[in-house]
């Protein structure tokens, strides 16, 4: 649908209805793009004067908005004209990047910041189409181009795009973005989290140019029930996509197949191959996959592997695998702030591999695409998580749709990544009926959208039949997941580390078990005896005691302790110890390894010798 029709419908129905973004363009990673990264102008607008008039009516819902609407980028017509803003005279801010770590006065800021980028753009072919693509923006983002509203996106960690074909000019284009990171009771996540609420255009912004009829989406993976069968679908988008030839090539497998799209521009395919070299941790082979139409060619690097469960085992390519993991937040500990670059991803995953990991849990929200692309190359298995965290409005239908949309956008982006083996629905949510309905719907949605991966969630452990020395998982959602995962903090929030030696476990489900979190806080460089909180020795002892306890749980097939690196959190206020940091990292915010790092590293190395 062309942009003018979208804008016309918006005027009829009110711009607030333009919430759902356009269909997501997949594999932007390998498309021809023009970067809009770099310096942008910005205006801090806590009262949202650039968005609402004095009657608190949004300017973008008025047929003739006032010049004081920031998205118009107005200039005085003469010296007598009253105008109370000027983007071009404002300070600069870097994109990608959060505003909290760039501007000291915005460290704790939650509210609206307006961004503006001016650029020239020449369409290479008159019939081509042009889109603006955001890898992520936290949290509610309203996008305007050359004075016209494109739409709204909600969610801080997934990509979105809007078409600008009929609005783009050769010179003097201006893209204005209103970003509001206020926490919301009805939001996903909700008001209460244990990580920093970084605001802004936190990942890359790009312009994408496509042919008039283009490859919009595709899914190319192994059939989960037949490892000789590559299957999937390809979708074209445009005004002329019916009965179009589409060619799928995988040269290394000598595959070159041609298909014809249906009336909707879509083709489903199945290709038998007996020559597949399966992607694994030891052999992370990626095949060059080429999709071609008469107008476009798109390449991707895809690995083929199967992931399934059998009783208490996780099977990668039909072989049992033990997941030696660590949890990771999306922060750059050296530079500070939200991580976003390939270099950031390399630092975090290199540390994980140095620790001995073959698996990472990307918590508690979708991380940037560099992480999963690099994990594909390095042979690291990945758990990806929807930001349904702690307690949200389980009975709010809009909240559910928000969670489902964010999960959908994550799956759309990463469904062709071999490294990704688990979609996690939630973290530490209460066992109540409304939550169970909510998570069951999410799990069903996820399986319908992608049946090639496992479903899990970070649940909580309970006393077994009222006995505090015996623990179990008593949660109806445990019956829904493929992999039973739970967080436990025996020795930190529950007694001292020595308590681990008194606890036994009764896991009644015949499923593989992952302990998704355990850990203790320690200030790097703070030393004392093992019973003194916050010392490296206390954290070290907890790891020793917990690993011994875990070894006695028969169904455990891996774990991901909390956490690789210390990270920012406004909840953590203890002076001289926390100072706004969650100290459960095995590595400090300055990149130094704590004593517990080497305990876990030694444990993982010894596992290699046993297996």
SS3 232: strand
- What's the pLDDT tens digit per position in 34-75? 999 999 999 999 999 999 999 999 999 988 888 899 999 999
Instruction: Say if residues 230 and 220 touch (Cβ distance below 8 Å).
Output: yes
In this structure, the answer to whether residues 401 and 460 fall within a common structural domain is yes
In this structure, the answer to whether residues 533 and 432 fall within a common structural domain is yes
Q: Is residue 95 part of a domain?
A: yes
In this structure, the answer to whether residues 281 and 162 fall within a common structural domain is no
In this structure, the answer to whether residues 229 and 203 fall within a common structural domain is no
pLDDT at 174 over 80: yes
- What's the pLDDT tens digit per position in 517-563? 999 999 999 999 999 999 999 999 999 999 999 999 999 999 999 99
Domain harbouring 241, CATH code: 2.60.40.10
Q: Is residue 247 part of a domain?
A: yes
* Structural domain span for residue 75: 3-210
Q: What pLDDT is stored for residue 416 in this prediction?
A: 98
Q: If you average pLDDT over residues 195-212, what whole number do you get?
A: 98
Residue 164: exposure state from Cβ atoms within 10 A (0-12, 13-18, ≥19): buried
91 contacts: CB under 8 Å, gap ≥ 6 = 41, 42
Instruction: Say if residues 517 and 492 touch (Cβ distance below 8 Å).
Output: no
403 contacts: CB under 8 Å, gap ≥ 6 = 188, 386, 387, 388, 392, 438, 442
Single residue among 210, 239, 270 that ends a domain in this structure = 210
Single residue among 160, 185, 210 that ends a domain in this structure = 210
Q: What pLDDT is stored for residue 65 in this prediction?
A: 83
In this structure, the answer to whether residues 74 and 192 fall within a common structural domain is yes
pLDDT at 279 over 50: yes
Cα–Cα dist 358/141, whole Å: 36
pLDDT at 19 over 60: no
- What's the pLDDT tens digit per position in 441-488? 999 999 999 999 999 999 999 999 999 999 999 999 999 999 999 999
- Tokens at residue 478, please? 């445990």
In this structure, the answer to whether residues 185 and 238 fall within a common structural domain is no
Percent of the chain with pLDDT over 70: 96
Sole residue written with tokens 């801010």: 93
pLDDT at 609 over 80: no
pLDDT at 259 over 90: yes
Cα–Cα dist 71/116, whole Å: 9
In this structure, the answer to whether residues 19 and 103 fall within a common structural domain is yes
pLDDT at 7 over 70: no
Q: What pLDDT is stored for residue 67 in this prediction?
A: 85
Residue 610 binned pLDDT confidence (cut-offs 50, 70, 90): low
* Mean pLDDT, the chain, integer: 94
Q: If you average pLDDT over residues 77-106, what whole number do you get?
A: 96
Cα–Cα dist 165/6, whole Å: 12
Widest Cα–Cα separation across the chain = 81
Q: Is the peptide bond before 35 cis (omega within 30 degrees of 0)?
A: no
In this structure, the answer to whether residues 317 and 171 fall within a common structural domain is no
Single residue among 210, 238, 265 that ends a domain in this structure = 210
Residue 129 binned pLDDT confidence (cut-offs 50, 70, 90): very high
pLDDT at 275 over 60: yes
In this structure, the answer to whether residues 356 and 462 fall within a common structural domain is yes
Picking from 561, 428, 551, the residue whose alpha carbon sits closest to that of residue 486 is 428
Q: What pLDDT is stored for residue 8 in this prediction?
A: 37
CA-to-CA dists, residue 159 to 24, 368, 573, angstroms: 8, 9, 33
In this structure, the answer to whether residues 166 and 229 fall within a common structural domain is no
In this structure, the answer to whether residues 111 and 83 fall within a common structural domain is yes
Q: What pLDDT is stored for residue 611 in this prediction?
A: 54
CA dihedral 566, 570, 572, 577 (to 10 degrees): 70
Q: What are phi and psi of 206, to 5 degrees?
A: -140, 155
- What's the pLDDT tens digit per position in 293-344? 999 999 999 999 999 999 999 999 999 999 999 999 999 988 889 999 999 9
Domain harbouring 176, CATH code: 2.60.120.260
561 CB-side CA count, 13 A: 33
Kindly give the pairing relationship between strand 297-302 and strand 148-154: unpaired
Query: In total, how many domains does the chain have?
Result: 3
- What's the pLDDT tens digit per position in 412-451? 999 999 999 999 999 999 999 999 999 999 999 999 999 9
Domain harbouring 525, CATH code: 3.20.20.80
Q: What pLDDT is stored for residue 64 in this prediction?
A: 81
Instruction: Say if residues 183 and 191 touch (Cβ distance below 8 Å).
Output: yes
- What's the pLDDT tens digit per position in 496-505? 999 999 999 9
pLDDT at 355 over 50: yes
CA-to-CA dists, residue 295 to 43, 209, 264, angstroms: 41, 12, 17
Q: If you average pLDDT over residues 81-102, what whole number do you get?
A: 96
pLDDT at 21 over 80: no
Q: If you average pLDDT over residues 115-126, what whole number do you get?
A: 96
Residue 608 binned pLDDT confidence (cut-offs 50, 70, 90): confident
In this structure, the answer to whether residues 444 and 508 fall within a common structural domain is yes
Q: Is residue 301 part of a domain?
A: no
Q: Count of CB atoms within 10 A of residue 54's CB? A: 8
Q: Is residue 304 part of a domain?
A: no
- Tokens at residue 238, please? 């445009």
Q: What pLDDT is stored for residue 562 in this prediction?
A: 98
């Amino acid at each position: 649908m062309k942009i003018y029709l979208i804008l016309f419908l918006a005027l009829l129905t009110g711009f607030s209805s333009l919430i759902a973004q356009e269909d997501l363009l997949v594999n932007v990673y390998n498309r021809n793009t023009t970067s809009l990264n770099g310096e942008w102008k910005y205006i801090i607008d806590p009262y949202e004067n650039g968005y609402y008039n004095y009657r608190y009516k949004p300017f973008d819902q008025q047929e003739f908005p006032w010049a004081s609407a920031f998205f118009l980028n107005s200039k005085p017509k003469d010296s007598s004209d009253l105008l109370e803003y000027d983007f071009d005279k404002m300070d600069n801010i870097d994109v990608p990047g959060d505003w909290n770590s760039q501007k000291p006065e915005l460290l704790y800021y939650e509210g609206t910041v307006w961004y503006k980028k001016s650029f020239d753009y020449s369409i290479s072919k008159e019939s081509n189409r042009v889109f603006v693509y955001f890898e992520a923006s936290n949290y509610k983002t309203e996008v305007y181009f050359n004075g016209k509203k494109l739409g709204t996106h909600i969610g801080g960690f997934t990509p979105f795009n809007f078409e600008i074909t009929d609005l783009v000019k050769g010179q003097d284009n201006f893209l204005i973005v209103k970003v509001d990171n206020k926490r919301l009771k009805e939001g996903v996540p909700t008001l209460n989290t244990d990580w920093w609420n970084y605001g802004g255009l936190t990942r890359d912004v790009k312009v994408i140019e496509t042919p008039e009829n283009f490859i919009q989406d595709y899914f190319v993976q192994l059939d989960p029930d037949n490892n000789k069968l590559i299957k999937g679908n390809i979708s074209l988008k445009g005004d002329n996509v019916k009965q179009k030839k589409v060619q799928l090539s995988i040269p290394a497998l000598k595959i070159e197949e041609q298909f014809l799209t249906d009336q909707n521009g879509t083709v489903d395919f199945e290709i038998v191959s007996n020559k597949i070299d399966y992607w694994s941790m030891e052999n992370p082979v990626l095949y060059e996959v080429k999709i071609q139409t008469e107008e476009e060619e798109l390449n991707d690097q895809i690995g083929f592997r199967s992931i399934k469960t059998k009783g208490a085992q996780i099977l990668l390519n039909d072989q049992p695998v033990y997941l030696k993991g660590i949890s990771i937040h999306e922060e750059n500990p050296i530079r500070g702030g939200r991580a976003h670059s390939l270099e950031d991803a390399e630092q975090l995953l290199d540390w994980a591999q140095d620790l001995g990991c073959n698996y990472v849990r990307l918590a508690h929200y979708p991380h940037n695409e560099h992480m999963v692309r690099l994990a594909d190359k390095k042979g690291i298995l990945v758990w990806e998580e929807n930001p349904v965290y702690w307690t949200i409005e389980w009975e709010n239908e809009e909240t559910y749709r928000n969670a489902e949309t964010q999960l959908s956008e994550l799956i759309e982006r990463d469904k062709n990544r071999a490294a990704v083996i688990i979609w996690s629905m939630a973290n530490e949510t209460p066992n109540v009926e409304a939550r169970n309905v909510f998570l069951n719907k999410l799990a069903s949605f996820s399986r319908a959208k992608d049946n090639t991966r496992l479903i899990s969630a970070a649940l909580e452990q309970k006393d077994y039949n009222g006995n505090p020395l015996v623990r179990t998982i008593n949660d109806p959602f445990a019956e829904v997941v493929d992999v039973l995962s739970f967080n436990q903090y025996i020795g930190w929030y529950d007694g001292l580390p020595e308590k681990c030696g008194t606890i036994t476990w009764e896991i009644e489900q015949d499923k593989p078990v992952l302990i998704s979190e355990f850990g203790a806080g320690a200030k790097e460089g703070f030393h004392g005896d093992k019973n003194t909180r916050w010392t490296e020795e206390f954290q070290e002892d907890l790891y020793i005691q917990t690993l011994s306890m875990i070894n006695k749980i028969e169904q455990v097939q891996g774990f991901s302790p909390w956490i690789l690196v210390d990270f920012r959190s406004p909840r953590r206020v203890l002076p001289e110890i926390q100072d706004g940091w969650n100290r459960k990292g095995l590595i400090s915010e300055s990149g130094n390894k704590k004593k517990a790092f080497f305990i876990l590293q030694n444990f993982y190395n010894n596992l290699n010798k046993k297996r």
